[in-house]
Amino acid sequence: MKTPEPQFLDIDGIRTAHLVAQPKEGGEAVLALHGWGADSTLMYPVGERLAPLGYRVFMPDLPGFGQSALPPTTWGVSDYAAFVQAYMDANQIEQVFLIGHSFGGRLGLVLGAELSERIRKMALADSAGVPPKRSLSSRARLALYKGIRGGLNKIGLKATANRLSTWYSNRYGSADYKSAGALRETFVRVVNEDLLPYAARVACPTLLFWGEKDDDTPLWQGKVLEKTIPDAGLIVYPGAGHYSYLEHLGEFIKVVDYFFRS
């Protein structure tokens, strides 16, 4: 089925695009949050399959993604989580089942800890939020870069420092960093947040889905979250990558439906 055109809402002054898939009558509310660099169209395959099972599925384009406006300032994960709460309020959603992929999983970790009375259960696919393991050489390289850049700024060579920053970003920056555009400072802030303290306070049952071959959020991070979240289980899809929920969509929907109803 073709993805429909989004509807638009004003959420705290931010023009927000969203998709809604729902049954003919009633239905339990599900909030589906996309990953970094994506938008609601990558959650719509989930929504269109859950709706006939009796769910109302809300899929916003988070600020700065898809057809939604940029956030007004440099945001962190908590700012995006506050936006999600405002989005729920605007749609008169008191409680939800939450589905989050990657960056959407980051938001789930914060919401599951800070807004637990409104999150019934969570299904997080290839969630971000666990600090990556950095080699000794990469830590040393980063420290050297920051030291040189700081020194250049102190002696007034800001233009040289900026050129160094550009070179370093082009040489060592991730694909997401390079493509972040106007969200680059937000991206840096978001990816440097350690969300394990939030994960330890998640108060709702959580089911984790992971691709065995995920290179963006490796499987070991899923195992860390499984151990950290008080009530969590982990399902691993052999051979799948970072979009494991789409690669195994039929099974994902069956498991999520059973989990939400049980």
For 76-127, how does the pLDDT look when each residue is reduced to its tens digit (9 = 90+)? 999 999 999 999 999 999 999 999 999 999 999 999 999 999 999 999 999 9
Closest CA to 15 of 77, 74, 90: 90
How many whole angstroms separate alpha carbon 33 and alpha carbon 106? 10
- 166 vs 134, 169, 207, CA distance in Å? 21, 5, 40
pLDDT (average), residues 45-59: 96
For 30-43, how does the pLDDT look when each residue is reduced to its tens digit (9 = 90+)? 999 999 999 999 99
How many whole angstroms separate alpha carbon 119 and alpha carbon 6? 24
Domains and CATH numbers, the chain: 7-131+194-261 (3.40.50.1820), 136-184 (no CATH)
Start-end of H helices in the chain: 44-50, 77-90, 103-114, 136-154, 158-172, 175-178, 184-191, 196-199, 219-228, 244-247, 249-261
For 178-211, how does the pLDDT look when each residue is reduced to its tens digit (9 = 90+)? 666 788 888 888 988 999 999 999 999 999 999 9
- 145 vs 35, 93, 166, CA distance in Å? 29, 47, 12
